Chain A
Amino acid sequence: MSGPDPIRAAFRGRLGAFTLDVDLTLPGRGVTALFGPSGCGKTTLLRAVAGLHRFPVGNCAVAGDSWQDGARFRPPHRRPIGYVFQEASLFPHLSVRRNLLFGARGAAPAGTEALRFDEAVDLLGLERLLDRGPQHLSGGERQRVAIGRALLSGPRLLLMDEPLSALDRPTRDEILPFLERLQARLAVPILYVTHDRTEVERLADTLVLLRAGRVEAVGPLATLQSDPTCDYARGRDAAVTLDAMAEDHDPEDGLATLRVGAHRLLVPSPPLLPGSRHRVRIAAGDVSLARVAPAGSTILNILPVVIVSGTPAEDHAVLVVLSLGQDGPRLLARVTRRSWQALGLAVGQAVHAQVKGVALARA
């Protein structure tokens, strides 16, 4: 496999009563979400990658460069990282401009695609904040400055520790598009710690599930979302996200036509540029199954699918994994056990998935 060098992060050791034992090889591009309940070690893992915490046993390499190996340990200030903390942690004695430039001097080592100052300011919408002090910014503005500051240091790996969790919902929704733009613009891989499924669904390409200091599962987001053996897929709020391409838009009804593999979905949406790439989210609870193609339904999206598996889930439900064509993307449906039996559904059967709700996860 060509492409950027993978990221290696293997650490073992104790921190108080907590033990971390992970050995991960992660793709050197895109967003990898570290997901898990609080106390599962995701922040500790991130700090170990940054060199802010030193585990006696560890191996860490990024972009073909070894940061920790046996007794060799590179201190954090010699690692080309950008780190965004949960609280923005801006330097209170410096203006926004000087905060942004703090790590920018001597940055941009050869071979990295560094972000220019005005480009970062533009990307994060910081223009009118530059000469203010951090104490005169809102929480969301502060976090945007912190992200810009980390980016301007020319990182080869961006580490983000629940950057949105200290913010209220409207402020998060205001920042998420910035993060999406950022990800589209930069080739820098991102490790993103979160316990919020929405953030995972909007941002992540790869998912690492952590529990009690260990890796429970790791893989491409779509794979884990539709793996019924994985806790992540069995929860009440299970959903899949699908890569989609915009084809058309009907302004009268406010509906966009998006292509997913060989299928088309109608999604409520503002106008989208034809050919642009997006991500749609379909919750397991919004998909029902029918053996014959339903007629006269209000449901807009009815897709022919094949049942891949049916797994008993909580509350007498069955979690059904569906495939959109051979090796096509997967969908999840949550149906009652009674329906599963009454319809005589079985693995390998062709059925019709009625998708009641599709939403753009990434505009």
Chain B
Amino acid sequence: MVDPEILSAIRLTVELATISTLVLLVVGTPLAWWLAHSRAWWKEAVATVVAMPLVLPPTVLGFYLLVALGPSGLGGPLAVLTGRRTLAFTFTGLVIGSVIYSLPFVVQPIRNSFAAMGTRPLEVAATLRASPVRAFWSVAVPLARPGFLTAAVLGFAHTVGEFGIVLMIGGGIPGETKVLSVTIYDYVETMRWGEASWLAGGMAAFAFVVLLAMAVIEKRVARIGT
């Protein structure tokens, strides 16, 4: 019989990762497009900001997010709309944090795919009467499919695995913000090593399967593409 606490944590983690991945793709795709095609001189500065979560300690990012999501930050007025005082320690807050934290893992592969295809396919589409919107959906997106796949997998897996930010802005409220990584931490704190090792092992296995699946799929896509 599985502990209901664990089931709740798993459900919450999957929900968080799924929603975050969707938001990441919606936000990351136009950003990646702009980074791949813009000639603005400040483009690389934007790319650097997007990449910062790669090197910042999660606690630093978590601290700023906590301030930003809190009543005196941007989160306060937004939270009022849903009848709360703050976005910190809420599921919504976690989604926002995850999106920012995982953004580089989604933007990078999509940007690389867009850059690798160059402007030629889009020019060809334009000379065949395709509007920019149609060219994007019927040419750019299919050609960037490997990039999207990598982005979605990395975004999902990275959100599942995040800990520092979740701890800073989530607080570990069961059913609301207590995801798997925090649950493991709690088990260790309370000396429940057995449960901790099961969960940790499960997550390690999950990460292995995901990365292996991605490598296999990428190989197959590459073969079709040649």
Contacts and interface: CB of A to CB of B under 8 A. Distances in A.
Nearest to A52: B123
Given A77-B132, A91-B139, A135-B225, A52 B127 contact: yes
A41 interface: no
Nearest to B131: A77
Nearest to A81: B127
A60 B121 CA distance: 24
A162 to B, nearest CB: 15
Contact of B124 (A85, A93, A106): A85
Interface in B117-175: 120-121, 123-132, 135, 138-139, 142-143, 145
B187 to A, nearest CB: 47
A92 B124 contact: no
Contact of B121 (A82, A89, A159): A89
A30 interface: no
A50 interface: yes
Interface in A79-96: 81-83, 85, 89, 91-93
Contacts of A93: 142-143, 145
B143 A77 contact: no
A312 interface: no
B130 A102 contact: yes
Nearest to B132: A77
B127 A83 contact: yes
Interface string B187-226: 0000000000000000000000000000000000000011
A76 B127 contact: yes
A107 interface: yes
Contacts of A107: 129
Q: Give the size category of B's interface with A.
A: 20 to 34
Contacts of B139: 91
A348 interface: no
Interface majority SS on B: helix, strand, loop or mixed? helix
A75 interface: yes
B126 A76 contact: yes
Interface residues of A, number: 24
B127 A91 contact: no
B132 A92 contact: no
Contact of B129 (A52, A135, A153): A153
A149 interface: yes
Contacts of B125: 77, 102
A114 interface: no
A124 interface: no
A124 B225 CA distance: 25
Contacts of A83: 123-124, 127
B124 A135 contact: no
B127 A150 contact: yes
Contact of B127 (A82, A92, A106): A82
Contacts of B120: 85, 89
Nearest to A78: B129
Given A93-B143, A135-B225, A77 B130 contact: yes
Interface string A144-155: 000001100100
Contacts of B135: 77
Contacts of A92: 143, 225
A159 B142 CA distance: 27
A103 interface: yes
Interface in A173-221: none
B142 A149 contact: no
A85 B128 CA distance: 12
A226 B145 CA distance: 55
Nearest to B128: A103
A346 B7 CA distance: 105
A236 to B, nearest CB: 36
A50 B225 contact: no
A83 B129 CA distance: 11
Interface in A112-161: 135, 149-150, 153, 159
A106 B128 CA distance: 11
Interface string B93-137: 000000000000000000000000000110111111111100100
Contact of A50 (B127, B143, B145): B127
A76 B123 contact: yes
Given A135-B225, A135-B226, A91 B130 contact: no
Interface string B8-20: 0000000000000
A77 B225 contact: no
Nearest to A153: B128
A117 to B, nearest CB: 15
**Interface-centre pick from A51, A76, A81, A106 (highest chain B CB count, 10 A):** A76
Contacts of B128: 77, 102-103, 149-150, 153
Q: Which 8 A-B pairs have the closest CB atoms?
A: A103-B128, A83-B127, A76-B126, A77-B126, A93-B142, A89-B124, A153-B128, A102-B128
30 contacts: A52-B123, A52-B127, A75-B126, A76-B123, A76-B126, A77-B126, A77-B127, A77-B128, A77-B129, A77-B130, A77-B131, A77-B135, A78-B129, A83-B123, A83-B127, A85-B120, A85-B123, A85-B124, A91-B124, A91-B139, A102-B130, A102-B138, A103-B128, A103-B129, A135-B226, A149-B128, A150-B127, A150-B128, A153-B129, A159-B127
Given A83-B127, A89-B120, 20 more contacts: A50-B127, A52-B126, A76-B123, A76-B126, A76-B127, A77-B128, A77-B129, A78-B129, A82-B127, A85-B123, A89-B124, A91-B121, A91-B139, A91-B143, A93-B142, A93-B143, A102-B125, A102-B128, A103-B129, A153-B127
